[in-house]
Amino acid sequence: SMGYIRDIKTEKVNDVIHCSFYSTFGGLNSSIGSKSSFEIQLDDSSAKIYFDRGNGEDELMLEKDASTNAWVQK
């Protein structure tokens, strides 16, 4: 990955959350307006989190293990 992130947009569809990210101002390697962490709002029905990779496909990043309720990195 290249650059910094300034904002995140999430969209929930059924039990899946899709995350899109926005680059900082001033070019790819500028840290102007960057943040180092983001909170994603979850509810009990949330089961998967996908990240937009900018190539038209989202990548599964986290999935909730139904037996333990723990989030597992993919």
The mean pLDDT of the chain is 90
Kindly report, residue by residue over 34-61, the tens digit of the pLDDT. Answer: 888 899 999 999 999 999 988 888 999 9
As a whole number of angstroms, the distance between CA 61 and CA 43 comes to 17
CA distances from 68 to 28, 50, 64 (A): 39, 20, 8
Full-model pTM? 0.82
**What is the Rg, in whole angstroms, of the alpha carbon atoms belonging to the chain?**
14
As a whole number of angstroms, the distance between CA 16 and CA 23 comes to 23
CB 4 within 8 A of CB 31: yes
